[in-house]
Amino acid sequence: MTRAGMTATLIWALAALIAAIIAIRARYTADLSAFLPRRASATQSLLVEQLREGPAAHLIIAAIAGADAEARAAVSRQMALRLRTNPAVLAIDNGNEAQLERDREFLFGHRYLLSPRVSPQLFTAGGLHAAIGAALTVLASSAGPLVKPLFLRDPTLETLAIIESLDASHARHSAAGVWSSPDGTRALILARTRASGADIDGQQAACAALERSFAESIAALPSAQRAALTFSMSGPPVLAVASRATIKGQVWRLSGLSAACIALLLLAVYRSPAILLLTFVPVASGALAGVAAVALGFSVVHGITLGFGVTLIGESVDYAIYLFIQRSADFRRSVWPTIRLGVLTSICGFAALLPSAFPGLSQLGLYSIAGLAAAALVTRFVLPAWLPRTVRIRDLTAVGSYLERLLARLRAARGALLLIALLAATLLYLHRGALWSRELNALSPIRATDMQLDEQLRAAAGAPDTGYIVAVAAPDREAALAAADAVGTRLTPLVERGVIGGFDSPTRFLPALAVQDARRRSLPPAAVLRANLDEGLQGLPLTAARLEPFVRDVEQAREAPLLRQADLAGNSLGLVVDALLVRGSAGWSALLPVSARDSADLSGAAIAQVRSAVASAAVGAELLDLKGEADRLYSGYLREAVRLAIGGFIGIVLLLFVALRSAARVARVVAPLALSVLTVAAAFAALGHALTILHVVGMLLIVAVGSNYALFFDRAGVRAAEGSLPLTLASLLVANLATVIAFGVLAFSSVPVLADLGSTVAPGTLLALLFAAMLAPPVPRTTPQAALR
């Protein structure tokens, strides 16, 4: 080994060690965070916070199906019993009576602090006459048996008023004493995990606890029943755990698979295990450098970014292939400049992704730049030093010569390219309206079957995924509650007019202290209340003496302390308040979910009315349309990605101008790349597959990888004497096969992000090679000696 080689090896070893340390210490994630913005408006950050940390991110809906209702109910009770003591689960709800009873008792016990009707007016003679008169009509109605037991203590029916204000538009179904789906085929359990939305390990523990509790609960049953019972669950924690597992599994499996396939290919080509090993040195170095760069540049490395490691195999393996196959006597002078230009064009393309607001894209950009640069440098400076003195690789000149003859035929058919271009352009024009997918869900790593199960369980649990929330921000809890109250006052008329179906508010169970205090102060002393009852009950079928329990309760309520958030702990209403009153990074937020009538989407007109009602409250509240907001966010990314990709393309063209100094040569390099991008896009359009942001990235990769091919053809046209055309062709074919394998494997991923990328790049690079060959400049006459030199 030369002294320079020694130095390069030393530097490489040191850099690899440092990169490995950085990579090991880095934080990895697989949640939706890659799809969330770095620069966000206040609305968007609330949205992001809700998605990642919000209360819904803790909810698991579990279903027990099969056997009969009794068996399902028995399992549901057993599971609830086991899960209540599990530290991973914060709360469990299977709809049993005891729990409902606790909640009802709480509402009844605090009715004079909670009921919005409580005011001094209610307790005057006139107010009592009206309220009790109305209560008597309820007593006479079908609800009579319900209110009768409470009537003497609560003759104005404040408990009922609170309950009715909750807008219970749908009944919760039950079978054999536990909560069941409306069709009665499944017992349902709602679990709230202790771990936050971002803590996927914690979520995983909760999911495992649910599954284990099911297994334990059915263990005691007869085997026929045990076999008939099935368990399923969904909800954000389940989906997050599943998608992390999917991404993790796929990253390893797909990387392994494509590496193995490429290894087989190269072994067949080289017939030398040592050379094969050397080929993977730049690949591994590049991957390590990429991860380390992302870990340094970003706070967390996304699992998806590692998935792109596969893409790096596809390109960086090419460099070593060029080195080994072309094994020109003077690699440094003849082959390296072309590779160098190829690397630079790739870096130029990926650099365009760096400024993206979409962290997924900028991570990919940085990863690729660092990875490709490292792979190229290792190929140039380290690998040659490690090459055995006598390289024994199979001579591909014969294959190359065949390719050379093929090339001549391909060049003759170059006219067909015009036809292809026309056809592609026409297809794209025809499908111009439906070219792009504008839904963020298109990127979600969640499998379609999981998504379906989620929808089914949500429907069964009566929790459709409508996503309109009025968010109120305030510096402290009391201010947030007061503001929520103000917004609620403005929304109530919209409910009455039927503009919206209803809304919820944390103030239903936890009114602001000032509001509670005002309600408490409106309760009259016993003597006054008795006198008012005497007068107010004139003409009604009962006397004041019968309502002594009411007088006692009011007297007690006058002395009772005000209700605080901590008082709600332990009943399920507390969970509602915790969900709707959240402490954010900057103060408190109250959330008021707004539902449309008939659980549909809100109409544009309804949204406008809600917005103006919210604005009129003048408390700094905003209506969030969660899915719309997320899709808008994504559309923004998509537009940005297209802009950046075009910028990257222009950058590449400029770079080529500087390097090649000839418009004709630049055109010949760029044309096949542009044409293959066009063809792939047209194929997707024709197949009805809407393009996502990852297709755009894929197109950039076609240009980045394909530019190497086009540059080699260009070099062959200009300086044929410096290299062997057959060997160049053979190396291009092998390199392209490796790339197609790497991305082709990716195309079969069940993670849409990876599949989109793979299905774009694999055919795209193949076409790029083909088109570049067809457009290759005429090769200057060379003597066989020169070619074989």
Partner 1 sequence: MRAPPRAELRERRRALLPRPLVGCAVLGWLLVIGGPPLVSSAAESADESAVFGELLRLLAERRHDHVTFTEVQQLAILDRPLHSSGELLYDAPDRLEKRTLEPRREDLVLEHGMLSVERDHHRRSVALRDFPQAVPLVESLRATLAGDRAALARYFTVQFSGTLARWTLELTPTDATVERSVQHIVITGETDRIRTVQIRQSDGDTSTLTIGAEVVP
Q: How far is the CB of 198 from partner 1 (least distance, A)?
A: 14
Out of 37, 117, 124, 173, name the contact with partner 1 by CB under 8 A.
Answer: 173
Out of 166, 428, 562, 683, name the contact with partner 1 by CB under 8 A.
Answer: 166
Q: Which residues in the 102-121 window bind partner 1 by CB under 8 A?
A: 103-104, 107
Q: Which residues in the 310-369 window bind partner 1 by CB under 8 A?
A: none
Out of 78, 156, 174, 379, name the contact with partner 1 by CB under 8 A.
Answer: 174
- How far is 562 from 276, CA to CA, in rounded Å? 76
CA angle 466–470–474, rounded 5-degree value: 145
State the residue for tokens 């770095």: 38
Q: What mask, x for binding partner 1 by CB under 8 A, covers residues 187 to 226?
A: ---x-x----------------------------------
Out of 278, 630, 702, 741, name the contact with partner 1 by CB under 8 A.
Answer: 630
Out of 168, 260, 448, 531, name the contact with partner 1 by CB under 8 A.
Answer: 168
Q: Does 591 bind partner 1 (CB under 8 A)?
A: yes
Which range binds partner 1 by CB under 8 A, 11-19, 345-353, 438-446, 524-532?
Answer: 438-446
Backbone angles phi, psi at 365, to 5 degrees: -60, -50
Q: How far is the CB of 465 from partner 1 (least distance, A)?
A: 5
Q: What mask, x for binding partner 1 by CB under 8 A, covers residues 634 to 653?
A: --------------------
Encode 286-321: b = buried (16+ Cβ within 10 Å), e = exposed. Answer: bbbbbbbbbbeebebbbbbbbbbbbbbbbbbbbbbb
Which range binds partner 1 by CB under 8 A, 12-20, 280-288, 395-403, 587-595?
Answer: 587-595
Which range binds partner 1 by CB under 8 A, 81-89, 133-141, 424-432, 482-490?
Answer: 133-141
Supply the angle between the helices 336-351 and 626-660 in degrees, to the nearest 10: 150
Q: How far is the CB of 307 from partner 1 (least distance, A)?
A: 21
Note the Cα 111 to chain centre separation in Å.
42
Q: What mask, x for binding partner 1 by CB under 8 A, covers residues 721 to 760?
A: ----------------------------------------
Which pair of tokens denotes residue 622?
Answer: 């905003």
Out of 62, 79, 175, 619, name the contact with partner 1 by CB under 8 A.
Answer: 175
Q: Which residues in the 596-625 window bind partner 1 by CB under 8 A?
A: none
Q: Does 140 bind partner 1 (CB under 8 A)?
A: yes
* HEC letters along 470-533: EEEEECCHHHHHHHHHHHHHHHHHHHHCCCCCEECCHHHCCCCHHHHHHHHHCCCCHHHHHHHH
User: Residues for the chain: how many in total?
Assistant: 789
Q: Please, which residues have CB within 8 angstroms of residue 510's CB and are 6 or more apart in sequence?
A: 481, 563, 564, 565, 568, 577, 581
Which range binds partner 1 by CB under 8 A, 180-188, 247-255, 417-425, 480-488?
Answer: 180-188
Out of 411, 627, 632, 789, name the contact with partner 1 by CB under 8 A.
Answer: 627
Q: How far is the CB of 57 from partner 1 (least distance, A)?
A: 7
Q: How far is the CB of 174 from partner 1 (least distance, A)?
A: 5
Closer Cβ to partner 1, 95 or 758, answer by number = 95
Number of residues that bind partner 1 (CB under 8 A): 80
Q: Which residues in the 43-62 window bind partner 1 by CB under 8 A?
A: 50-51, 54-57, 59, 61
Q: In what order do the strands lie in the sheet with 230-234?
A: 89-93, 186-193, 59-65, 230-234
Closer Cβ to partner 1, 113 or 160, answer by number = 160
Q: Does 440 bind partner 1 (CB under 8 A)?
A: yes
Which range binds partner 1 by CB under 8 A, 109-117, 144-152, 674-682, 704-712?
Answer: 144-152
Closer Cβ to partner 1, 340 or 627, answer by number = 627
Closer Cβ to partner 1, 217 or 466, answer by number = 466
Q: Does 773 bind partner 1 (CB under 8 A)?
A: no
Q: How far is the CB of 696 from partner 1 (least distance, A)?
A: 21
Closer Cβ to partner 1, 108 or 381, answer by number = 108
Q: Is 498 left (phi over 0), alpha (psi -120 to 50) or beta?
A: left
Nearest to 581 by CA among 560, 598, 564: 564
Q: Which residues in the 279-298 window bind partner 1 by CB under 8 A?
A: none
Closer Cβ to partner 1, 457 or 774, answer by number = 457
State the residue for tokens 């709707």: 580
Closer Cβ to partner 1, 630 or 666, answer by number = 630
Q: How far is the CB of 443 from partner 1 (least distance, A)?
A: 11
Q: Please, which residues have CB within 8 angstroms of residue 248's CB and are 6 or more apart in sequence?
A: 30, 303
Q: How far is the CB of 322 from partner 1 (least distance, A)?
A: 45
Q: Which residues in the 484-543 window bind partner 1 by CB under 8 A?
A: 504, 541-543
The sign of the CA dihedral 497, 500, 502, 504 is negative
CB contact at 8 A, 754 and 445 = no
Name 502's bridge partners: 595
Q: How far, CA to CA in Å, does 431 sit from each of 298, 423, 428?
A: 38, 12, 5
- How far is 702 from 680, CA to CA, in rounded Å? 10
Q: Does 152 bind partner 1 (CB under 8 A)?
A: yes
Q: Does 404 bind partner 1 (CB under 8 A)?
A: no
Query: What radius of gyration do the chain's Cα atoms show?
Result: 35
Q: Which residues in the 78-107 window bind partner 1 by CB under 8 A?
A: 93, 95, 99-100, 103-104, 107
Q: Which residues in the 448-467 window bind partner 1 by CB under 8 A?
A: 458, 461-463, 465-467
Helix (H), strand (E) counts: the chain: 33, 13
Q: For the residues of 254-302, what is the DSSP string, one character each? A: HHHHHHHHHHHHHHHHH--HHHHHHHHHHHHHHHHHHHHHHHHHSSSEE
Closer Cβ to partner 1, 433 or 539, answer by number = 539
Q: Please, which residues have CB within 8 angstroms of residue 729's CB and are 6 or more apart in sequence?
A: 400, 403, 404, 407
**Largest Cα–Cα separation, the chain:** 122
Q: Which residues in the 232-271 window bind partner 1 by CB under 8 A?
A: 235-236
Nearest to 365 by CA among 25, 26, 644: 644
Closer Cβ to partner 1, 128 or 732, answer by number = 128
Name 624's bridge partners: 469
- How far is 272 from 266, CA to CA, in rounded Å? 9
Closer Cβ to partner 1, 508 or 668, answer by number = 508
Q: How far is the CB of 19 from partner 1 (least distance, A)?
A: 35
Which range binds partner 1 by CB under 8 A, 4-12, 145-153, 698-706, 757-765?
Answer: 145-153
- H/E element, 348: helix 336-351
Encode 209-220: b = buried (16+ Cβ within 10 Å), e = exposed. Answer: bbeebbeebbee
Q: Does 575 bind partner 1 (CB under 8 A)?
A: yes
Which pair of tokens denotes residue 288?
Answer: 């390590």
Q: How far is the CB of 602 from partner 1 (least distance, A)?
A: 12
State the residue for tokens 């630079």: 344
Q: How far is the CB of 674 from partner 1 (least distance, A)?
A: 35
Q: How far is the CB of 108 from partner 1 (least distance, A)?
A: 12
Q: Does 441 bind partner 1 (CB under 8 A)?
A: yes
Q: How far is the CB of 51 from partner 1 (least distance, A)?
A: 7
Out of 38, 170, 333, 643, name the contact with partner 1 by CB under 8 A.
Answer: 170
Closer Cβ to partner 1, 180 or 401, answer by number = 180
